[in-house]
Structure 1
Amino acid sequence: MASELGMPLDNYQEILGLSRKKLFDARSKRPRPHLDDKIIVSWNGLAISSFARASKILKAEPEDTKSYFPVAGTNPQEYIEVAKKALNFIKENLYNPQSRRLQHSFRNGPSKAPGFLDDYAFLISGLLDVYEHGGEISWLSWAVELQETQDEVFLDKTGGGYFNTTGEDESVLLRVKEDHDGAEPSGNSVSAVNLVRLASMFTGTRSDRYRQNAEHLLAVFEKRLKEAPVAVPLMCCAADMLAIPSKKQVVLVGKKSLSEMEHMLVSVHASYDPNKIVIHIDPSDEEEMGFWKEKNPNVAAMAKSNFVADKVVALVCRDFACKAPVMDSKSLEALLSSGKT
């Protein structure tokens, strides 16, 4: 249209932005539609993932990127805080730390319905994204805890894959295993991705167990994957992730308070790579070091040997065999985009 009208593209985009603003202002004067104000754990899990990813991906945009219709709430710096706020609400209102179980939803108080598979799977995915995009180790620890509960309550230990319900309600006559990735992904597809990601972060029997559960899950839906892959696109992604023989790990070592840590995280997430996991660790943080010593001693050892005061050291590894460390975000971005990692 800009070409047809003989005007610069920027001018055309600016006119479109002004037009949208006029439309938005006019619509704002109309009565708002009814708000569905129930809070569902699974839907929040999807939103948490999106906010966590956007907090770093949008920061990688060129500085001269123009917004032709600026609205409130478009600062990516705030997005990770929005994600954490949602997680805190769920943990405080819809999670029982004694039973380690979730409730499904909240409206004027928690619902009586227990969490379904989607609630656990989508929330675990959100927790992994918040951690990988700069969140505290406590979120990763909670993801591990919820995965243990999910395996205990929903996993078909003989046939493989996850049931949608707990099986504890006698009025539910049939326990099914959903696979269709429609408007929402299926709990089994998200779980398969979660398991591959967790297996790539840890070592030993824990990592083996995650990988085996992912393999068994995909075996359950093998016919569906082969005959109707268009119906299970996310499960196809999980199968591809599982097929990669060695995963790429990016380990960032340094204090989280340093501004360079944020720059490093932005560089790590500037390019899309589903077969990459991100670990950030502060060797002076006893909680973090204790977590990794238990779950993956390789990470704890790397952190200890590569710690430099007032610097952030980045290591790009495959199965925790690492290339020479780099100490600035541009070098890290170049290393990740070179195709040699």
Structure 2
Amino acid sequence: MKKANRLLQETSPYLLQHAYNPVDWHPWGEEALTKARTENKPILVSIGYAACHWCHVMEHQSFEHESIAQVMNDNFVCIKVDREERPDVDQIYMDAIHAMGIQGGWPLNVFLNPEAKPFYGGTYFAPQQWVKILQNIAEAYRNHRDELDNSAEQFTEHLNLSELHKYGLQQSESDFNEADFQQLFNSLSARFDKVRGGMGQAPKFPMPVNYAFLLRYYHLTGEQTALDQVVLTLQEMAYGGIYDQAGGGFARYSVDADWLVPHFEKMLYDNGQLVSLYAEAFAVTQNPLFKEVVYETVAFAQRELMSAEGGFYSSLDADSEGEEGKFYVFKKEALQEILGSEEPLFSEYYNITEEGNWEHGVNILHRKTSDEAFARDHKLEVNELKRKVAAWKSKIMAVREKRVRPGLDDKILLSWNALMLKGLADAYKVFGEPDFLTLARQNAQFLLQHLRLDNALFHNYKNGRTTINGFLEDYALLIQALLALYQITFEENWLTEAKKLTDYTIRNFYDETEELFFFTDQTSEKLIARKKEIMDNVVPASNSVMATNLHFLSLFFDQEQYFQLSDAMLAKVKPLVVKEPSFLGNWASLYFLKIKPTAEIALVGSEAESIRQVLGRQFLPNAVLVGTTTDSNLPLLQDREPVNGQTTIFVCYNKACQLPVHTVAEAMEQINQIGN
């Protein structure tokens, strides 16, 4: 019988996967670090996550083998880290790997001295190579300790360089002009794949923040190429294998340039952001495909990722039964059995072939054309085709229900939940679907009840336990989601909570010397470096989200210092945003907000909610919306009453108000005159 190691006491599914390895794994913490110092041993930190394919491979090939584990245990204090639980630890040692000139990724394996300072590392290693590296490092540590320590000191100095210094960012003037904004778009558009959508070549990641920016750029300038690239990309993704054609929801990325072959893991953070993006794109285009994607993706998240308590789990693995994608793919003969006489039409619709469109003779369901075009080519009514497709999906899902499911990472992360919460709020705003609002309220209540203590947040939750203090991403993304939730409900408690969390964040994360926020709370564990997150990635940088929150909160609460701080933060990174917008897409959307004044739209009267519903269907990215049916102490609603007993709309900019009006059409005319 296998003997458990210390990881058996953890809640992270990734750590629990390694609980019966013969490696004497420790979780990250003072016990392991003290052991290294006491025994004067180097530390091996191995970082991954539950849905990571190559993490599983390295575990099976190396960490499950007694002989390899013996080498690790004899020579190192071995620490396993779930990067999703400890992004602060992952960020530091990933930066260290990059400083060593190594391409980063997961699994991430880094060797540290007993002071937790890194001197060597890499990603995946094959078993023989891994043993050789372990032996070489153990020998070097015994015989050349001074050299390794000197190297570790140099890497640690590099890690403590500020992000602003690293990118040569010294400018701090709040000069946001349309010429630089145009240059920003030109820099981004140079990377467009105008044939299959997305940016650059394979692999392709969704990167929702870039397309959210393009929608805003189009809204401000009317530049058709910006909108065309969004529509092309969102359509190609929705047609491709990266989208689960039967069950809804997106995989993490496509390994090819055509969005056909996904890396099959499904992450909550992608799907939350893509719900927001497709909802916004529908508001701009009215494309029915985008609505279908929103509804199916929300259904996927509710069905496969939502806990009974109202939180969303983190991810689904790429693998099942040891094979990547096995849960999702089909051979043609299996489809003939499932669909009978309908199979030929199904196979044309989803591009199924006898030899398979992927490896080992299997097929990934994907589309190449719209329902309208397919129906026309096959002499079908569109509604008849849609009925057939719905029936096909039901049959496919019924078969999948009998298959071995991919592994579920059932930890609940606050920041990722906040992205799905905002997705639900954005979807409700555009579509008015009551179920979306019910899910959003349920999720928000769960997060505030279980992952908050006073005004401080926790990052993780599982089995009733919260074990890790919140990071800046948790605060920033939850504040963002609460602002969205207020604007679809006019329930002021959400806005109040957002302000409390903002004030806590300023007190505990803000660095006045650089006018940016640290990633960790000043009360959190002290690591060898305290980082700031600037670059927008698959999840937007916590500083860019916080700067945007401050912009909007300054209007909700008439707090000029919030506005000035938002300006200062953007000014710090502005040269990089203009030059490299594909890595700072969310900052680019904040730049959009600074070009023209933000509209303050106040609804007062008994019909405030019904007017809000109509306004919500408009794409108004540069506006804040407040409302009440009675009275309110919010600055934007004070001294505002219905005019002539009718529900009244007040539109203001820069503390100057237009004449009060009573219809959405009149309000939109005022908004469009200012150029929102």
TM exceeds 0.5? yes
**Quick one: distance in 2 between partners of 1:199 and 1:281?**
19
What does residue range 177-326 of structure 1 map to in structure 2 within 5 Å? Answer: 177-203=532-558, 206=559, 208-244=560-596, 246-255=597-606, 260-284=607-631, 288-289=632-633, 292=634, 296=635, 299-302=637-640, 305-306=641-642, 311-326=646-661
Whether the 8 Å contact between 1:167 and 1:175 is mirrored in structure 2 is no
Gap runs ≥5 in structure 2: 1-373
Whether the 8 Å contact between 2:544 and 2:587 is mirrored in structure 1 is yes
**What are the superposed Cα offsets for residues 90-128 of structure 1, whole Å, 9 maximum, x if unpaired?**
22222122xx21111111123221100000000000100
**Quick one: distance in 2 between partners of 1:135 and 1:29?**
44
What does residue range 89-100 of structure 1 map to in structure 2 within 5 Å? Answer: 89-97=446-454, 100=455
**Quick one: distance in 2 between partners of 1:279 and 1:83?**
19
Q: Secondary structure at the match of 1:272?
A: coil
2:365 is the alignment partner of 1:14? no
Whether the 8 Å contact between 1:271 and 1:337 is mirrored in structure 2 is no
Whether the 8 Å contact between 2:414 and 2:447 is mirrored in structure 1 is yes
In the alignment, what sits opposite 1:340?
673
Equivalent position to 1:82, from 435, 439, 443: 439
In the alignment, what sits opposite 2:362?
none
Amino acid at match of 2:474: D
Amino acid at match of 1:8: E
1:333 is displaced (CA, Å) by: 4.4
In the alignment, what sits opposite 1:121?
476
- Gap change, CA 1:319 and 1:281, over 3 Å in 2: farther
**Quick one: distance in 2 between partners of 1:96 and 1:164?**
19
2:408 is the alignment partner of 1:35? yes
Q: Secondary structure at the match of 1:108?
A: coil
**Quick one: distance in 2 between partners of 1:280 and 1:151?**
27
Q: Secondary structure at the match of 1:279?
A: strand
1:300 is displaced (CA, Å) by: 0.6
Amino acid at match of 1:250: I
Whether the 8 Å contact between 2:508 and 2:523 is mirrored in structure 1 is no
What does residue range 128-139 of structure 1 map to in structure 2 within 5 Å? Answer: 128-139=483-494
Whether the 8 Å contact between 1:268 and 1:333 is mirrored in structure 2 is no
- Gap change, CA 1:90 and 1:308, over 3 Å in 2: farther
1:175 is displaced (CA, Å) by: 1.4
**Quick one: distance in 2 between partners of 1:172 and 1:105?**
19
Amino acid at match of 1:299: L
In the alignment, what sits opposite 1:173?
528
- Gap change, CA 1:333 and 1:130, over 3 Å in 2: farther
**Quick one: distance in 1 between partners of 2:669 and 2:402?**
48
- Gap change, CA 1:169 and 1:263, over 3 Å in 2: closer
2:386 is the alignment partner of 1:48? no
In the alignment, what sits opposite 2:249?
none
2:497 is the alignment partner of 1:142? yes
Gap runs ≥5 in structure 1: 60-75
Structure 1 stretch displaced more, 100-109 or 22-31? 22-31
Q: Aligned Cα RMSD in Å?
A: 2.1
1:200 is displaced (CA, Å) by: 2.3
**Quick one: distance in 1 between partners of 2:444 and 2:644?**
32
**Quick one: distance in 2 between partners of 1:170 and 1:185?**
24
Q: Secondary structure at the match of 1:250?
A: strand
Paired residues in the alignment total 300
**What are the superposed Cα offsets for residues 34-59 of structure 1, whole Å, 9 maximum, x if unpaired?**
32221111111111111112112113
1:157 is displaced (CA, Å) by: 1.0
1:276 is displaced (CA, Å) by: 0.7
1:221 is displaced (CA, Å) by: 1.7
TM-score normalised to the size of structure 1? 0.81
**Quick one: distance in 2 between partners of 1:237 and 1:37?**
32
Q: Secondary structure at the match of 2:627?
A: strand
Whether the 8 Å contact between 1:267 and 1:333 is mirrored in structure 2 is no
